[in-house]
């Protein structure tokens, strides 16, 4: 039987555990809030607006509105209804040109049935162009090309297209996916003159490290995706998992390579588990202006 002194000592030992219980409670609440945010963030698509200026842009194209989207990953976690909503959102921007940066389907999730019937509704004055991503190859390259072609979308596979207004034009070039294909920037840039305004699209940004020096200043803008901004980050500062051999360099956002402005989008949807943490999904509206080379965002 404990004495009164012993009981008093036991009570004294228990009292310091109250702050510990509070800390544990705060930790549980914090983790719950972070998980709730990570489950919610994939649905919070932001529209990022930028202005790209270049002296090579013809006057006839001054003010051109380009919408750029990538990494939609239609399928298990991105339904046909969400694809339809995305198309409406793009059309609401009244774009002159829509550029699609690859990974339209989930990879092995039968996303074709959710994606390709809906993108037929995309509308843009100068059309829609696209490159393929690794997930498009994994789900079926032939199906991807057929689906895009049926929607009237031009697939750029180590090739380019001229968009004309009167006697002047700009060029949009795209390369094959680096992970599943054989990208060739020389083939994509064939026929582009240094004084022309040209855009390069590469689904995987790592390829730009070699492609932009090899193309020797032919491009005025480069667009890429694939990395999802890391998808789950340490409060937007660092991504522990990033599909790039260059570490955080191509995690997401604007950077400059060989004097060329490069945009690596965080993408529209997610890969695998539908979680994002401080890597909010993006849709980009880029206004092209004639003037000294630069980017405002």
Take residue 151 and report the two structure tokens written for it. 């929607």
pLDDT at residue 172 greater than cutoff 90: yes
In 3-state terms, what secondary structure has residue 145?
helix
- Which DSSP letter does residue 153 get? P
Bridge partners of residue 258, in order along the sequence? none
Q: Are 60 and 165 contacting, i.e. CB atoms less than 8 angstroms apart? A: yes
pLDDT at residue 10 greater than cutoff 70: no
pLDDT score for 23: 83
Mean pLDDT, range 7-18, rounded to an integer: 55
Q: Give the pLDDT band (50/70/90) at residue 26.
A: confident
Mean pLDDT, range 256-266, rounded to an integer: 97
| In the block, residue with structure tokens 């298990």 | 76
What's the whole-number average pLDDT of the chain? 93
Convert the pLDDT of each residue in 95-105 to its tens digit: 999 999 999 99
Bridge partners of residue 285, in order along the sequence? 49, 67
For the entire predicted model, the pTM comes to 0.92
By C-alpha distance, which of 51, 63, 111, 96 is closest to 268? 111
In 3-state terms, what secondary structure has residue 7?
helix
Convert the pLDDT of each residue in 186-245 to its tens digit: 999 999 999 999 999 999 999 999 999 999 999 999 999 999 999 999 999 999 999 999
Take residue 39 and report the two structure tokens written for it. 């489950």
């Amino acid at each position: 039987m404990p004495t009164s002194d012993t009981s008093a000592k036991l009570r004294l030992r228990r009292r310091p555990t109250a702050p510990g219980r509070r800390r544990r409670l705060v930790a549980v609440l914090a983790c719950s809030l972070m998980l709730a945010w990570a489950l919610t963030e994939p649905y919070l698509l932001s529209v990022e607006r930028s202005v790209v200026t270049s002296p090579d842009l013809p006057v006839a194209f001054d003010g051109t509105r380009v919408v750029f989207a990538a990494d939609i990953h239609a399928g298990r976690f991105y339904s046909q209804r969400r694809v339809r909503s995305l198309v409406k959102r793009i059309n609401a921007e009244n774009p002159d040109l829509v550029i699609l940066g690859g990974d339209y389907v989930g990879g092995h999730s039968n996303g074709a049935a959710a994606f390709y019937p809906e993108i037929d509704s995309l509308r843009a004055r100068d059309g829609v162009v696209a490159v393929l991503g690794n997930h498009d190859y994994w789900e079926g390259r032939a199906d991807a090309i057929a689906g895009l072609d049926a929607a009237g979308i031009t697939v750029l596979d180590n090739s380019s297209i001229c968009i004309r207004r009167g006697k002047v034009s700009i060029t949009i070039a795209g390369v094959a996916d680096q992970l599943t294909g054989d990208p060739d920037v020389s083939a994509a840039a064939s026929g582009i003159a240094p004084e022309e305004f040209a855009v390069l699209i590469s689904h995987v940004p790592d390829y730009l490290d070699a492609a932009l020096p090899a193309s020797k200043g032919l491009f005025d803008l480069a667009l890429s995706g694939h990395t999802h901004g890391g998808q789950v980050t340490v409060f937007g500062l660092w991504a522990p998992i990033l599909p790039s051999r260059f570490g955080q360099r191509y995690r997401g956002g604007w950077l400059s390579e060989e004097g060329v402005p490069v945009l690596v989008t965080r993408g529209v949807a997610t890969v695998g588990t539908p979680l994002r943490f401080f890597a909010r999904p993006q849709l980009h509206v880029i206004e092209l202006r004639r003037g000294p080379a630069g980017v405002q965002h």
